[in-house]
Structure 1
Amino acid sequence: MPVYCITGTNRGLGLEFVRQLAQSPDNTIIAATRSLSSDLSDLKAVASPSTHILECDTSNVASIHAFVKEVKQTLGDEKKIDFLLNSAGVNVASSQSSLSLGPDELQQNIAVNVIGPAKMVELLLDAGLLSKDVRILNMTSGLGSLQRSSEIKPRKCAPYSISKAGLNMLTVHQSEDLKPHLPGSVVICMDPGWVKTRMGGDGAVLEASQSIGDMLKVLHGLKAEDTGSFYHHTGEKIPW
C-alpha cells in the first residue's frame, strides 16, 4: 500500500493528483492544503477513506514543521512516504519582466516554488518519513528551462520563470544530496504542460486529467538512473 504525499491539493494539479490516486483503495494519500479554513469542498469530494487532509502553507517554514509532525502522527511508526509530489506553486506578478522585477513579488515566487520544496524534503528526511526508495517530483515548468525560455519572444513571467529555474537546480542538488541517506531515492522535476487550471489561464490547451495521468505514468516508471532529470509530462526529457 504505497503512501503519497502531495502539496497544493485544494485546486488545480494537486487536486487532480488526489482524484486519480484516490481511485485505488490501496493508496494512502497525505493531501496538504494551504489552509483548512478555505473552501475544501472539491478536495473532500474526490478524497478516499485513506486520504488525510492536512494543513501546510509551503511558503511558511514553521507551517512545514507543523505539517511534518502531523504526518508523523498520521502514518505512525510503520508507514513511510513512497512518493512526494511537490505540486504547490504560485505565479505572482506574471506581467513583470526582468526590467521591472519587484523584489517582494520575486521573493514570493521563490518562497513557494523553491524554498517550500527544499524544506519539505529536508524536514521529512530529518523526521525519518521518506522511504528508502522514495520518488520525489518537483513540479516545474518549461519556463524554467533556460534553452526553452530563450526561444520565447517576447519573454514572459520573469519572476515565475526565475523561480522555476531555481527549482530545477534544487532538484539537481537534492538528487545527489539524498543518496548517502536514501541510496534508492529518485528526484526529478517535471513540466506538466500548459494545463487548463486557474494558474494556466487563457490559452491553456491540456486537460488536467491528461497531464496528471501522463505524469503518474512517468513517476511510476522511474529507475535509479533517472534521478536528477527534467521531464515533460509525456516522458520526454527537457533541456536545462
Structure 2
Amino acid sequence: MSVYCITGANRGLGLEFARQIASASPSKTTLALTRSLSSDLADLNKVSNSNTHILECDTGNLQSIKAFTSSAAKALNGKKIDFLINNAGINSAPEQTSLSIGPEDLDEQIRVNVLGPAKTVEYLLAADLLSPDARIVNMTSGLGSMAVSLSITPRKCATYSISKAALNALTVQQSGDLREKLGEGCVVVCMDPGWVKTRMGGEGAVLEAEESIGGILECVHGLGEGDNGRFFTYTGKEVPW
C-alpha cells in the first residue's frame, strides 16, 4: 500500500489532503506533519485513522526537519514514502510590493517556502526513506509563474510570489538531482492549488478545498515519468513558467 507524507497537515489544504487520503483508502499509511504537536490538532485527529501518524516537523527549522526523519523512520518501520507533498508554506506579508519588500519578511518566506521543501527532501533521501518511484509534489502558486504574474494588474504578494518562483526553480533542480539518486521512476512536480477558501486564501477566494485537493490527487496519481519537472494546476492543466 502507498505511503503518503504531508507537511502542514493540521489545517487548510494539508488537512484536506489528509482527509481525502484517509477516506479514500484507510489502509494507506499517512505521515501527517504539523509544525508543533502542541498545536490545535482537533481537526486533524477527526480525519485521521489508525494508519495516520501525526508527527512534528517545523519546515522552517532545520533541526526540526532532521528530528522528523528519525520519527518517520520509526513510524514507517521499513516502508518508504511514495508520495511526498511539500504543502507547508506562509504568506506573511501579502501587502508588500516590489517597492516595499521587507528584508526579514523575504528571508522568512524563502526559509519556509523554499529551504523547507529542499531540506525535507534532502534529509528524507539521506535517511533512505524515499521510494525509487516517489512522487514529490511541491505546492506552489500561480503567483510563482512569471507568465501568470505578468497578467495580473496590479501585481500582488511580492515576497510570496518571489518565494514561490524560487520553489518552482527548486522543483526543476530536484527533478534532475533525484533521478540521479533514485532512478528514472522518480517524478518531481510543482502544483498550483488555485485560489482556495482557506485562512491563507483569505477573503475573495473562489475554490473549495475539497475540489482543489481532489483535482491535485487525481493529477498526481496519474503522473508518468515524462511529467518530471513540470508545473500543473489542480485541474491537471500545465502552467506556463
The TM-score with structure 2 as length reference comes to 0.98
Q: Within 5 A, what are the aligned runs for 1:89-128?
A: 89-128=89-128
Letter in 1 for 2:31: I
Runs of at least 4 residues off by over 4 Å = none
Instruction: Report the CA distance between 1:26 and its aligned residue.
Output: 2.1
Give the structure 1 partner of residue 29 of structure 2: 28
Q: Matches of 1:91 and 1:27 in 2, distance apart? A: 31
Output the CA distance in 2 between the equivalents of 1:225 and 1:69.
Answer: 32
Match of 2:47 in 1: 46
Query: Secondary structure, in 3 states, of the residue corresponding to 1:180?
Result: helix
Distance 1:230 1:179 in 2: 17
Residue matched to 1:2: 2
Query: Which residue number corresponds to residue 169 of structure 2?
Result: 169
**Cα deviation code 1:152-198 (max 9, x no counterpart):** 11100000000000000000000000111111100000000000000
Identity of aligned residues (%): 63
CA contact (8 A) 1:92 1:106 kept: no
What is residue 84 of structure 1 aligned with on the other side?
84
Match of 2:204 in 1: 203
- 3-state SS of the aligned residue for 1:195? coil
Instruction: State the secondary structure of the residue aligned to 1:83.
Output: strand
Per-residue deviation, 1:84: 0.1
Deviation at 1:83, TM superposition (A): 0.3
Equivalent residue letter for 2:192 = D
TM-score normalized by structure 1? 0.99
Name the SS for the 2:182 alignment partner: coil
Shift of the alpha carbon at 1:92? 1.1
User: Shift of the alpha carbon at 1:51?
Assistant: 0.1
Matching residue of 1:74: 75
C-alpha distance in structure 2 between counterparts of 1:82 and 1:130, whole Å: 7
- Alpha-carbon shift at residue 7 of structure 1 (Å): 0.2
Q: What residue identity is the alignment partner of 2:199?
A: R
Report the Cα distance in structure 2 between the residues aligned to 1:166 and 1:81, rounded to whole angstroms. 24
What is the match of residue 58 of structure 2? Answer: 57
Once the two structures are superposed, the pairs formed by residues 208-223 of structure 1 within 5 Å of their partners are 208-223=209-224
Q: Which residue of 2 aligns with 1:17?
A: 17
Distance in 2, matches of 1:168 and 1:97, equals: 20
Would you say how many aligned residue pairs link Structure 1 and Structure 2?
239
Give 1:4's aligned amino acid: Y
What secondary structure sits across from 1:179 in the alignment? helix
User: In 2, distance between residues paired with 1:119 and 1:152?
Assistant: 32
Q: In the alignment, which residue of structure 2 is the partner of 1:139?
A: 139
How many Å separate the matches in 1 of 2:153 and 2:177? 36
Of 18-27 and 115-124, deviating more is: 18-27
